[in-house]
Amino acid sequence: MFKVNKDYLKLPGSYLFSETGRRIREFEAAHPEKKVIRLSIGDVTQPLAPAIIEALHDAVDEMGHEETFRGYAPDLGYEFLRSTIAEHDYRARGCEIAPDEIFVSDGAKCDSGNIQEIFDKDNKIAVCDPVYPVYVDSNVMAGRAGTYDREKETWSNVIYMPCTSATNFAPELPRETPDMIYLCFPNNPTGAAVTKAQLARWVDYANQKGAVIIYDAAYEAYISQEDVPHSIYECEGARTCAIELRSFSKNAGFTGLRLGYTVVPKDLKVNDVSLHSLWARRHGTKYNGAPYIVQRAGEAVYSAKGEAQLKQQIAYYMKNAACILQGLRDAGYRVSGGVNAPYIWLETPKGMGSWQFFDELLENAGVAGTPGAGFGPNGEGYFRLTAFGSYENTVEAVRRIKEM
């Protein structure tokens, strides 16, 4: 008789978005006259920029002609895209990353879930709390997280690094030494960012302890402050301790198109075993590449037209973020994030539970957000709003919240 992977059975249900969805649907059914504004989604709403649409059309046409038709993509992704990434995302920022250290994929979610596969089961992971749930759940599936404590909502073999208002929602170096450290800045869900000096401390720490940092920079395009690094490779020494994950979802609206990449520097080794060759082996064996037309669309992100259009798109979302930040501050809320990220992290009033605040906001303002508790124990007492809605809806949502 076949047996299932028992580690999957340890996973608590993905409660957060099914539960918020259920509550929103129930509210809408009971109040059909009220239009609920969703500031809960982590998905973009603006259409693809014209430069990207043009590149897609051109690539589709190429696929229709024998001379320009493409079949399977090269293992690492097309050279035209990898060299463009190396130039624009790295060399232009003074980072030394070669095109063959870049692995093109269909997004950062898959990569952040899959990357743990090249590490031994005995490694101990450290995550921020609150956290993007994929890092923890993928390690649970791999049998690396230990046992789940339902009361504390924590795993026995995971080091949690609290990110609280006391540290501006940045983690402190953990007391217990981890082997794998997941960092995500600008952060989902808190919207917090770290300075280059802060990130450099983590790079030094990882090099000193022989740990690897898995750095998720999916929200890099939203950085507005000078001293916030766009890549971990801006920090000296990162080539020997860090893997970086990037996504085209939030900088260019590819959430439905799907494109991302992972950087594994060749200097990243343990006992002479190179993580680059392990990831290359894994990528070559289990993955057949992002579609040619999507990789051409990705290339257009870096064209002069593409860059200008996407700058406007980011500015559109960040205008929403500024509107939420200012509006909630005026209404007396304690808020953070929203400056280098499209997420606003607000403290629930009067110490209210985050699920209770979800209900109050829905019932009294017809606005949906995401309860902080869904991202980890230290998310309790907080609430996430996103800047990905339309400007009109965002202004209306803020008006309603102010009236509560």
Ligand X SMILES: Cc1ncc(COP(=O)(O)O)c(C=O)c1O
Binding site for ligand X (CB under 6 A): 42, 107-109, 112, 132, 184, 188, 216, 218, 247, 249, 255, 260
What is the spatial distance between Cα 136 and Cα 127, in angstroms, rounded to a whole number? 8
Residue 255 CB, nearest approach to ligand X (Å): 5
Nearer Cβ to ligand X (265/298): 298
Q: What is the DSSP string of 153-174?
A: TEETTEEEEE--GGGTT-PPPP
Report the nearest approach of ligand X to the CB of residue 223 (Å): 14
Q: Which is nearer to ligand X, 98 or 110 (CB)?
A: 110
In the complex, what is the shortest distance from the CB of residue 336 to ligand X, in angstroms, rounded to a whole number? 17
- Minimum gap (Å) between residue 219 Cβ and ligand X: 7
Q: Note whether 386 and 343 are within 8 A (CB).
A: yes
Instruction: Give least dist CB 218 to ligand X, A.
Output: 4
Q: Which residues of 107-156 form beta strands (DSSP E)?
A: 125-129, 148-149, 154-155
Query: Cα 196 to the chain's mean position, in Å?
Result: 19
For residue 151, how many other CB atoms are within 10 A of its CB?
A: 6
Question: What's the Cα-to-Cα distance from 281 to each of 111, 211, 274, 286, rounded to whole Å?
Answer: 14, 22, 11, 9
Query: Closest distance between ligand X and the C-beta of residue 257, in Å?
Result: 10
Q: Look at residue 38 and give its three-state secondary structure.
A: strand
The smaller minimum CB distance to ligand X, of residues 188 and 401, is found at 188
Residue 127 beta carbon to ligand X: minimum distance, rounded to whole angstroms: 12
| Contact partners, residue 326, CB within 8 Å, separation at least 6 | none
Dihedral, CA atoms, 21, 220, 345, 183, nearest 10 degrees? 90
CA 60 to chain centre: 29
Cβ proximity to ligand X, 56 vs 218, nearer residue: 218
327 or 337, CB closer to ligand X? 337
Cβ proximity to ligand X: between 182 and 365 the closer is 182
Nearer to ligand X, 261 or 366 (CB): 261
Q: Which residues of 8-27 are buried (b: 16+ CB within 10 A; e: fewer)?
A: eebeeeeebeeebeebbeeb
- Shortest separation between residue 117's beta carbon and ligand X, angstroms: 17
Half-sphere exposure of 26 (CA within 13 A, CB side): 9
| Backbone phi, psi, residue 247, to 5° | -135, 150
Nearer to ligand X, 275 or 294 (CB): 294
- Minimal CB distance to ligand X: which residue? 107
Q: Which of 251, 289, 273 is nearest to 82 (CA)?
A: 289
Query: In the bound complex, what is the minimum distance in angstroms from residue 364's beta carbon to ligand X?
Result: 28
What residues have CB less than 8 Å from 256, skipping those under 6 apart? Answer: none
109 or 124: CB nearest ligand X: 109
